[in-house]
Amino acid sequence: MRSPLAAPRRRILLFSFLVFLTLHPLRALDFNSPGDPAVLAEALAARMSDEEALAQTFMFGWTGTGPSPLILDWIRIRRIGGIKVFGWNIRDLETLTETIGILQRASLGGPLKIPLLAATDQEGGMVRHVKDRTSDTPGNMAIGAGAFPEDAYYAGYYIGRELALLGINMNFAPVVDLATSRDSVLLGTRSFGEDPVQAGILGLAFMRGQTRAGIISTAKHFPGHGATSLDSHGTLPRIAADERLLWDRELVPYRMLIRGGLPAVMSGHLAFPRTPAGDIPASLAPWFLQTLLRNRMGFRGMVITDDLRMHGAFLTTGSLSRTARQALWAGNDMLLISSTPGMNDQVWTELLDWMKRERPFRERVRDAARRVLALKLIHLRREGAASPIPDPDRLRREIPDPQAEAFFQDLAARSVTVIKKEGIPLDPASAGRVLLAGRHWNFINAGRRAYPKAAVYSWEESANAATLRTFAQGADTVILCMENPGDLQLLESLRSLNKRTVVFSVSASAYPDKNSWVHAAAVLYSTAEESFIAGFSVLLGRINGGGAIP
């Protein structure tokens, strides 16, 4: 039998709740409110207007090295979700941290106090958008050459620690594309190698190192950019891989990282005509992002597009606004746009109009905003997360980092892959008159330390074979640094001179085979100073170089 006091108690509880709402209005709810991240993300997204929800799905680049007025307007007025740091934003690290601090304060000053995702591409090796005093590292293929997960972990950790000091909280790394095409211009040494399981192991270790440093990892370029020689910046690559091959090859690293708690994925502007998506880029295809990534692979994190200004995406639809709409419909949660559009640009007005006219699209955008908020709540509030406002004093004290320098030098030494060793060691006395020929000053400087009396032939764009032969005529030993397949022809022009010839390759696609006529050859995978120091140390016989082409 119900107590006669039950109804009055319910009325009292209801009254108390109404009083609570009066004293603690919903507007008091913000990013710093306590609670489960998933529940709080739902609550924050529910409180947002359509404009606020749409803005959370935008990540923009900006012009200049300081905070441009336009990007500040997008942050203060529209409350966009993120910013992307490109190489053109870097004058020096101090200016960058000051700029990020200004942009984050503008975002945190909003009613919901939501920080920005501040992202960049700091993969290591050939892609390093933030330079100045940050570590110039050997890169992923050097890690793959040694194949030590500990190297991948500490590479992610040291790169991540530098980013965190700068106020950058998200890195578009690790690259888990497979090196299945030796002719891939875009990928090159950015890959850990061609073995899917090894790439997954090393990618997972890299991710965990970044997590320890307080950085949100983003695996890219989903589902895989390795099996093409084309660059999606300028065209739409079409890759002849069907669903089964993708599952057993390109998707293996993603499957491993997802099980390890991968927070974010970058979708690639790549077409796979032999899959149900047909000629639609994976970045715009619901089959890839919903059927495959979400439903079959079980990914629960955030999906962000590669730059929508890239032709691989833009050529498909003909306009940025239509591309952005299709990207959101496909299952992306955030739109990366390398430039800052005008405040009332077509991409904003049309997306907002579609939200108001089409309820399913409105719900998709609000779901995307919820995922962006959940990512921020999970990763930007946890212990050890990168502070949104960087500390300039810590920056000055801790970059450059002697521990990082020592680690990356050791990594470079472990990665050197000797292809032909008959001419090793080569001491300065035996080498005679040495010619250093190459386009990188890190190579020239390291070579001069090893062979102080060496002559130099250097070039910026392309070498002239006749000029190289003229320089080589007066040398006993030619040490040639090769970077691209065209350099193999340059090497061949030296054959008839019968000079002692040593080759350092910094590429995965430009090196002689073990039966070549050259006296010694090694692959370094990188143009970092540490890699050339390691290469010349091998040539002098001071270290062995134990890497294998991955």
Residues known to be catalytic: 233, 306
Cβ neighbour number for residue 359 with a 10 Å cutoff: 9
Q: Detail the DSSP E strand segments found in 100-200.
A: 117-120, 122-124, 127-128, 170-171
CA angle, 251 as apex, 247 and 254 as ends, to 5°?
145
CA pair distance 95, 390, nearest whole angstrom:
11
* Residues in Cβ contact with 295 at an 8 Å cutoff, skipping those fewer than 6 apart: none
Residue-level length of the chain: 550
**Among candidate residues 250, 107, 276, the one with its CA nearest the CA of residue 179:** 250
DSSP codes of every residue in 408-460: HHHHHHHH-EEEE-TT-S--HHHH-SEEEEES-HHHHHHHHHHSTT-EEEE-S
CA pair distance 292, 242, nearest whole angstrom:
13
CB 87 within 8 A of CB 129: yes
CB 79 within 8 A of CB 114: yes
**Among candidate residues 120, 43, 99, the one with its CA nearest the CA of residue 336:** 120
